[in-house]
Amino acid sequence: MKRAASWIAALAALVGAASLARAAPPVGQVTIELAGGPVNRIVPDLAFGAALDGMGRGEVRSLFTPFNIARMRSAGLKSVTYRTRAELGIEAWHWSDEGSWSDPSRKQGYWASSANPKAPTGVTWGYALPRRGDTIDQANESGYSRLDDGDAATFWKSNPYLDRRYTGVAMRPQWIVADLGAPTRIDAARIEWGTPFARRYKIQFWTGRGESDHRGRWTTFPRGALRGLKPDDHVLRLARGNISTRFVRVLLIASSGLAPAGSSDPRDGLGFAVREIHVGDIDAAGRFHDRLRHGPDKRRQSIIDVSSTDPWHRAIDRDVYLEQPGFDLVFRSGVTSGTPMMVPVGVLYDTPQNAVAELRYLRARGYPVRQVELGEEPDGQGVSPEDYADLYLETARALRGVDPTVELGGPSLQGAFTDTWPDPGAGWSWTRRFIARLRARRALSELNFFSFEHYPFDDICGRLGPKLLAETAIMARLDARLRADGVPKATPRIISEYGFSAFSGRAMSQLPSALLDADIVGQFLTLGGKAAYMFGYGPDAPINQHAACAGFGNMMLFQADARGQADQPMPAFYFARLLTGAWAHGGDAPNAIYKAASNIRDARGRMLVTAYALKRPDGDWSVMLVNRDPTRPHRLRLVLRGRGEPSRLGGRGGLTVATYGPDRYRWEDAGPASHPTLDLPPRRFTLPAGAPVTLPPWSLTVARESGPPG
């Protein structure tokens, strides 16, 4: 009986082994192309970074604790970029509380922080602009337009720093765009002018179906070309019959150049000022009906966009709900690891004098700063790219007077695909028009690096698998768009922020977020990128920001505890550790990136497994592998091709492997109480010579030819 049982067990084992053999996935291949040499060289300490941002009231001090700093640094991301929510919120940034006003007796006007403050800078603030024209901003959206706030005592004013006396070139027309919300029949308008008013202007309508309709054009109303020596606040009939449009633009061409009575500041007389605008129709009885909504709140007024805004403000305009960590606090905390930090200066809503004082202060303190980014997300603010270019050059040349060697760049676009309202002959692309303006002014050399943010998905509901597969094509289109828009090939490209989406939800805290991060960084660097900065450096809490279907999550290396201290590591943390400790060789020695591709594809030809190959300065080959297949593991071999006979990585000495997949992490979406239910570091092991690498479903793997992973 025992012999029979042994025979049956052996037969079962053979059948089981055959079944496993049939079930095992076929062995695929990743090919690393050696012909032509590396496609890029990176310095990991500079190429891999994280972004520090502004935060809410009381949050700066809770973030900058020794415990949090140590946990953040443990990710290995040495380079840091400092972001300003002040610029996003249409605010001027007092990066130090010590400084001077242009009108000191009334604590108002144009501000410049002190280049030599007596007290260390700890917590700093933005200051709202009372001459604001935009309804919507890119930060907390707590402000509103003064053009349709229903208060004739308030007003919008364009930026005086666009005048010839500051830029050295003629001021371009400024504009106001009013969104009626839906196509509306319009034949009249009323403008309540401020000082200075427009002596020549046009009132125009948009012919497209929507703002993104490339067939649309701005067309002047039949009676919309206007001029006068005095401001005219009367109702203006623009056409004999109604014209249906959703958008109306006031194009301001020539300024009166007059300042308000009693003014002693020349900036008060530069540009244009408007107290309130009204757009509508005149009925058969001759009565004007305003079709814009007016109210001191973004929810109660029609949406207004403007070309620029005056950075004039007052001490009482401090936004206490939005904090920025002071430079002394940041540098002395050790969060930068001694690596030069990229710092911002305000451009759209600040003054060149404040930027100059900031750089002088940083140089006097001896803080390591190599790059200065001018402005933040100007395309998201809807401003004219040509106006931004003029302000950029004005600020850049002022900074050169402090340090001719500093690297200056921008524009820190909210995305590389941004379009804007067309001007005749200028086209739609924000980037193309910005680059064209720099080139026309023979100043492209002032753009030492080109920066943009990359959040590929606005919609983070639904299945994540198709989104992961889509990222490869998105990044390829992004690269082609920048080249088509004229960004010089020799100008370093930097992703100043990256993550799953600009809107928080569960996808940011689920395991696939690490896979997306790996594809963003790996592909961007393979395409020649210089550096990429992960958003969400500090610990945070899960939130839902955009849509109920998105669930709860956040971009963060660590989930915070109730005291704001780093608690559980997130997929972004383990991705960063694999990036800096296993894939690349840290330090200041270059790592060479080679093209790599797998033959594991889906029915539509899309790569289910992406690969990013790197020859490290220690001589090791290292390959970062992303299995974007949510259900199936894949086996593969790594092959070098292009110099003699193809050779297999690990064919002699084996491979050291680190894998992060579904057996290491799970996220429970439970509203504000969302948290990981499984949270383990990557699994590490050694493969014998010739053995294929097995990638679990939805996993991130680093395979190295020799030496243990970090």
Rounded Cα distance between 329 and 323, Å, is: 13
Residues 24, 16: contact at Cβ < 8 Å?
Answer: no
Element counts in the chain: helices (H) and strands (E): 13, 43
Task: With a cut of 90, say whether residue 20 has pLDDT above it.
Answer: no
pLDDT computed for residue 706 by the predictor: 73
pLDDT computed for residue 24 by the predictor: 63
Domains of the chain, by residue range, sit at 25-40+590-704, 78-125+324-454, 156-310
Residue in the structure block whose two tokens are 């058969």: 284
Contacts of 230 (CB under 8 A, 6+ apart): none
Q: Lowest mean pLDDT: which of 175-184, 211-220, 445-454? A: 211-220
The neighbouring-strand residues paired with 6 are none
Contacts of 540 (CB under 8 A, 6+ apart): 554, 555, 556, 558, 559, 560
Give Dmax over CA atoms of the chain in angstroms. 115
Find the helix or strand (DSSP H, E) in which 175 lies.
strand 174-186
Q: What is the dihedral of CA 72, 75, 76, 82, to 10 degrees?
A: -40
Rounded Cα distance between 160 and 259, Å, is: 12
Each residue of 36-46: pLDDT tens digit? 999 999 999 99
The rounded mean pLDDT for the chain is 93
Task: With a cut of 70, say whether residue 116 has pLDDT above it.
Answer: yes
Polymer length in residues for the chain: 710
CATH for the 78-125+324-454 domain, from 3.30.110.30, 3.20.20.80, 3.60.70.12, 3.30.300.160: 3.20.20.80
pLDDT computed for residue 138 by the predictor: 84
| 615: amino acid identity, one letter | K
pLDDT computed for residue 23 by the predictor: 56
Domains 25-40+590-704 and 156-310 share a fold: no
Confidence of residue 451 (pLDDT cuts 50, 70, 90): very high
Task: With a cut of 60, say whether residue 28 has pLDDT above it.
Answer: yes
Contacts of 9 (CB under 8 A, 6+ apart): none
- CATH assignment, 156-310: 2.60.120.260
Rounded Cα distance between 540 and 556, Å, is: 6
Task: With a cut of 90, say whether residue 426 has pLDDT above it.
Answer: no
pLDDT computed for residue 3 by the predictor: 38
Q: What is the dihedral of CA 472, 474, 476, 480, to 10 degrees?
A: 180
Rounded Cα distance between 179 and 192, Å, is: 18
Task: With a cut of 70, say whether residue 13 has pLDDT above it.
Answer: no
Q: What is the arithmetic mean of pLDDT over 84-93?
A: 94
* SS3 assignment, position 254: strand
- CATH assignment, 25-40+590-704: 2.60.40.1180
Rounded Cα distance between 377 and 346, Å, is: 11
Each residue of 147-171: pLDDT tens digit? 999 999 999 999 999 999 999 999 9
Each residue of 557-573: pLDDT tens digit? 999 999 999 999 999 99
Rounded Cα distance between 106 and 95, Å, is: 20
Task: With a cut of 90, say whether residue 209 has pLDDT above it.
Answer: no
Each residue of 322-349: pLDDT tens digit? 999 999 999 999 999 889 999 999 999 9
Rounded Cα distance between 518 and 516, Å, is: 5
Residues 433, 427: contact at Cβ < 8 Å?
Answer: yes
Give the rounded percent of residues in the chain with a pLDDT score beyond 70.
96
Residues 456, 535: contact at Cβ < 8 Å?
Answer: no
Q: Tokens standing for 211? A: 């703002």
